Amino acid sequence: MINVAVVCRKKGFDETRLKMGWWSYPVPDFEWAFYPLEDGQAIDKNKLAQKGHDVIFWEDWVWNDFVGDAPIPIYAAIVDSNTSGRRKKRYEGRAKQADVLLIDQDKLTHFGKTGRPTFRWQYAVNEHVFAPQQKTIDVGYHVVRTPGRSALTEPIRTLCRENGYSLTDGGGMTITQYANRIGSARIVVHKATREQCRSHRFFDALSSASCLLTDRVWGVNEDRFMAGSHFVEWQSAADLQTQIVDLLETGRWQQIADAGRAHIMLHHTWRTRAAQLKGIINATR
């Protein structure tokens, strides 16, 4: 049994734990305790070692320092270092405090230059939270608003109103509310904040057996997602409208949704990701 100290962000702790699959339910070979921190707060490796922890898992989105000289290895999960050059540089500094790097989206070759062992280790969904529900809504559009995303709202509303499709949209929800909206939708529309960002919504929607309809984003080869099989891409606002009509009128949304759900259950649950993490830890300790 590997005993893990999960160092994570204190802000929004309960919602984050619902949102993500990592450390979300018991799995073989691991036991763990959470250590939620504020940004800038230090944590003592000596104290973590004294508590019996074998490794530290340093979750993304918390920016803390480590003190103490206990030889307990730090495995740093890095999710969205690829969103800007400034963030990439900040993550390079983060890597210097870690012993092993677990990269979600970015290119492994970049972090390989740090001299740390670097592995692909992606986001995981909590399939118990993002689960299939009765499909009572035709289209769901639930994103954090940006100008580009907001520009799609009225075209989607107009299309649904003219064709008699049911629609839910808007943000500001709890994770439970968001999961219910996603799970109830036949089609989940997505627009990336940046082209290089493969959003958690890929995992949320597919795990919920909804058909994800997204603009084109940076692909992570190890995800094994296939456009046209596990999700559908749109090229413009007009194409988005055409795709919604086609998916609903032909019933093709169901085929895509079923294939996406099966793919998630095979490759992207916390149980699968935990088994991969065990292999990485065994190879590097």
Pair 97, 66: CB distance under 8 Å: yes
**H or E element: which one contains 58?**
strand 55-58
Tokens read off for 252 = 């093709």
What's the CA gap between 183 and 127, in Å, rounded?
11
What's the CA gap between 278 and 158, in Å, rounded?
49
Q: Is the pLDDT of residue 196 over 80?
A: no
Q: What is the pLDDT of residues 21-56, one digit of tens each?
A: 999 999 999 999 999 999 999 999 999 999 999 999
Q: Which residues of 181-204 are buried (b: 16+ CB within 10 A; e: fewer)?
A: bbbbbbbbbbbbeeeeebbbbbbb
Pair 213, 135: CB distance under 8 Å: no
pLDDT bracket for residue 146 (50, 70, 90): confident
What pLDDT sits at residue 194? 77
pLDDT over 90 percentage in the chain: 87
Mean pLDDT calculated for residue range 233-240: 96
Query: Residue 83 — φ and ψ, nearest 5°?
Result: -80, -20
What pLDDT sits at residue 128? 96
Classify residue 116 by its DSSP letter: S
Record: fold of 137-267: Rossmann fold (3.40.50)
Q: What's the pTM?
A: 0.94
What pLDDT sits at residue 206? 98
Nearest residue to 160 (alpha-carbon basis) of 251, 241, 252: 241
To the nearest 10°, the Cα dihedral for 36, 37, 39, 45? -120
- Per-domain residue ranges for the chain? 2-124+269-284, 137-267
Query: Residue 26 — φ and ψ, nearest 5°?
Result: -60, 140
Give the distance from CA 37 to its chain's centroid: 21
